[in-house]
């Protein structure tokens, strides 16, 4: 489905954006050896003792150097490519930190992850968390980030060059006939093949970028930092990464905040369909606000009527894309326009930007605004290059769980359910979930519960109208975790911490600084 990533992660005060032509998340998870591989199975904890083959990795000392903005340091740590065969070779994990500034007693390290999967934790730390987290938190914690394996600076997966990625993002994901279905399948196959053949790094790490392996890497980082327990704030997909860590190492859980939580017990089809409903909920909230304004580009009336007008606009773009002024000649078709709209669902602060972009596109035939939203989501730079966000996104998700669909016919059979979940976005999201059906590496994980028996209290945060991680997922994860404490934000947008609620921020800051979790079931607005 669409990216599970914190709305502040790549903000530059734009939005954290949604997915597009075919690059949708397809689920997460990974059962430990010996689990039954069903949603009733629980992730089993690893032995407390360090296996002999991993001793050298756990004995590393980071060699810090200045990097990035003033006050930040970077280092590299080794991790085994394959934890089952440590002798098979290493990968380099990129780590960054900003040391505690004081005053007050240092509380250790606080790892942060913005989600994705595929979001750069180091980029998030240096552009937001290391300077934007509350001063009291930054005063007493060393703020730390590690790019997960396959992501950004840590053995990144790459699949396509810029021009081929441009073509991929414009692929029609609402095929009208067999020929268009074939073109979409061909695009998915080309993308998947590229991930395996682009370079040696991609080929090497592609079978080893699962969430379980990334969680095990975090324990190596914890040890290298000299912390007995892991303190962590994970947003969006970062909640699954953090919950996985807790399931594997419950006795090493310090203070964990899981904001915008995911439910690991759902299979890929359920995740995709429920996220589709989440985007519909978010769109209804945007549309309700929009139709009450005199300048709403979707007219007046009900949110449902606004949705019908938007769908009609997408259909028009499917037939006749409009100009954008892009120097590379890209026009705005249905795929990029849908991405731009869903992008703004992640942050209600982007609604004015979306209204302006839709006004220009619908009334003036100028697609530049929606294209800019889509490019920001894809992390496409003006020179036509892309970060590896979307490549890592697919690589992790396609490894973590069996695909939602393996053939066009399966998608067509599911269309009624997806279109019921979202009349506006359902068809495109259903077809986009076919991408992992052509993945070159077999999945290693399946749905499972995470209980983390014996862990210290874990704070799970859910937003009631979250588009990307629907609120029921937070309730489900909090129920699964033996020590889960549910904290609810009654509001719009993706994730809650640092988005303007003094109630949410105060509860989380108190937990991080004093160790006192909020009362289970606490609600904020």
**What is the rounded CA–CA span in Å between residue 423 and residue 420?**
6
**What is the rounded CA–CA span in Å between residue 18 and residue 343?**
4
Which residue among the candidates 227, 263, 466, 492 is catalytic per the annotation? 466
Please, where are the H alpha helices in 209-330?
211-225, 237-248, 268-291, 303-319
pLDDT of residue 6: 57
The residue ranges of every structural domain in the chain are 81-158+208-266+448-524
pLDDT of residue 40: 73
In what helix (H) or strand (E) does residue 397 lie, and over which residues does it extend?
helix 389-400
Which residues of the chain carry a pLDDT beneath 50? 8-38
In tens, the pLDDT along 267-279 reads: 999 999 999 999 9
Active site residue 494: yes
Count of Cβ atoms closer than 10 Å to residue 502 Cβ: 9
**What is the rounded CA–CA span in Å between residue 269 and residue 7?**
24
**Axis-axis angle for helices 389-400, 211-225 (nearest 10):** 110
pLDDT of residue 4: 64
CB burial class (10 A; 0-12, 13-18, 19+) of residue 162?
A: middle
**What is the rounded CA–CA span in Å between residue 5 and residue 7?**
6
Of 478, 25, 42, 446, nearest to 267 (Cα)? 446
pLDDT of residue 60: 97
Task: Find the largest Cα–Cα distance for the chain.
Answer: 68
ω into 103 cis (within 30 of 0): yes
Which residue among the candidates 400, 494, 501, 505 is catalytic per the annotation? 494
Which residue among the candidates 127, 185, 202, 236 is catalytic per the annotation? 236
Active site residue 466: yes
**Axis-axis angle for helices 211-225, 237-248 (nearest 10):** 70
pLDDT of residue 318: 97
pLDDT of residue 13: 31
Side-chain half-sphere CA neighbours of 333 within 13 A: 18
Secondary structure of residue 14 in the 3-state scheme: coil
Tokens found for residue 62: 């980071």
**What is the rounded CA–CA span in Å between residue 498 and residue 506?**
10
Phi, then psi, of 495 in degrees rounded to 5:
75, 170
**What is the rounded CA–CA span in Å between residue 181 and residue 495?**
35
pLDDT of residue 2: 60
Q: For tokens 């259909």, what's the residue?
A: 315
pLDDT of residue 39: 62
Active site residue 236: yes
Please give the CATH topology (third level) of the domain spanning 81-158+208-266+448-524.
Rossmann fold (3.40.50)
């Amino acid at each position: 489905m669409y990216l599970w990533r914190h709305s502040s992660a790549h903000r530059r005060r734009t939005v954290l954006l949604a997915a597009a032509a075919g690059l949708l998340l397809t689920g997460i998870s990974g059962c430990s050896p010996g689990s039954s591989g069903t949603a009733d199975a629980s992730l089993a904890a690893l032995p407390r003792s360090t296996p002999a083959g991993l001793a050298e990795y756990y004995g590393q000392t980071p060699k810090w150097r200045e990097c990035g903005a003033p006050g930040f340091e970077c280092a590299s740590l080794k991790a085994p490519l394959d934890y089952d065969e440590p002798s098979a070779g290493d990968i380099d994990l990129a780590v960054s930190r900003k040391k505690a500034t004081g005053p007050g007693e240092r509380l250790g390290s606080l790892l942060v992850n913005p989600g994705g999967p595929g979001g750069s934790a180091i980029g998030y730390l240096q552009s937001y968390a290391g300077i934007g987290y509350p001063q009291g938190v930054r005063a007493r914690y060393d703020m730390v980030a590690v790019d997960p394996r396959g992501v950004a600076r840590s053995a990144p997966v790459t699949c396509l060059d810029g021009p081929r990625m441009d073509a991929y993002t414009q692929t029609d994901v609402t095929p009208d006939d067999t020929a268009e279905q074939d073109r979409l399948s061909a695009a998915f196959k080309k993308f998947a093949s590229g991930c395996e053949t682009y370079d040696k790094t991609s080929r090497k790490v592609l079978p080893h970028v699962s969430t379980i392996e990334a969680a095990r890497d975090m324990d190596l980082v914890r040890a290298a930092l000299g912390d007995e327990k892991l303190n962590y704030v994970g947003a969006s997909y970062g909640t699954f990464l953090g919950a996985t860590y807790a399931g594997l190492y419950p006795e090493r859980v310090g203070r964990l905040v899981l904001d915008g939580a995911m439910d690991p017990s759902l299979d890929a089809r359920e995740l995709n369909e429920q996220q589709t409903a989440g985007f519909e909920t978010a769109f209804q909230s945007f549309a309700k606000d929009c139709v009450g304004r005199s300048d709403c580009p979707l007219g007046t009336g009900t949110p449902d009527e606004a949705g019908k007008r938007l769908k009609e606009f997408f259909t028009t773009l499917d037939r006749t894309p409009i100009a954008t002024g892009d120097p590379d000649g890209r026009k705005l078709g249905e795929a990029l326009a849908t991405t731009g709209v869903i992008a703004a669902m992640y942050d209600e602060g982007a609604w004015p930007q979306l209204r302006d972009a839709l006004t220009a596109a619908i009334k003036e035939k100028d697609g530049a605004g929606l294209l800019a939203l889509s490019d920001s989501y894809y992390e496409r730079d003006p020179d036509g290059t892309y970060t590896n966000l979307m490549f890592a996104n697919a690589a992790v998700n396609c490894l973590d769980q069996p695909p939602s669909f393996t053939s066009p016919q399966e998608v067509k059979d599911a269309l009624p359910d997806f279109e019921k979940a979202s009349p506006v976005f359902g068809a495109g999201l259903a077809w986009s979930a076919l991408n992992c059906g052509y993945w070159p590496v077999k999945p290693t994980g399946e749905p499972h519960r995470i209980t983390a028996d014996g862990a210290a209290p874990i704070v799970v945060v859910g937003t009631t109208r979250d588009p990307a991680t629907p609120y029921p997922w937070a309730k489900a994860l909090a129920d699964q975790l033996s020590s889960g404490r549910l904290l609810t934000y009654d509001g719009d947008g993706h994730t809650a911490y640092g988005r303007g609620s003094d109630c949410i921020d105060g509860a989380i800051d108190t937990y991080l600084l004093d160790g006192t979790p909020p009362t289970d079931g606490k609600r904020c607005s």
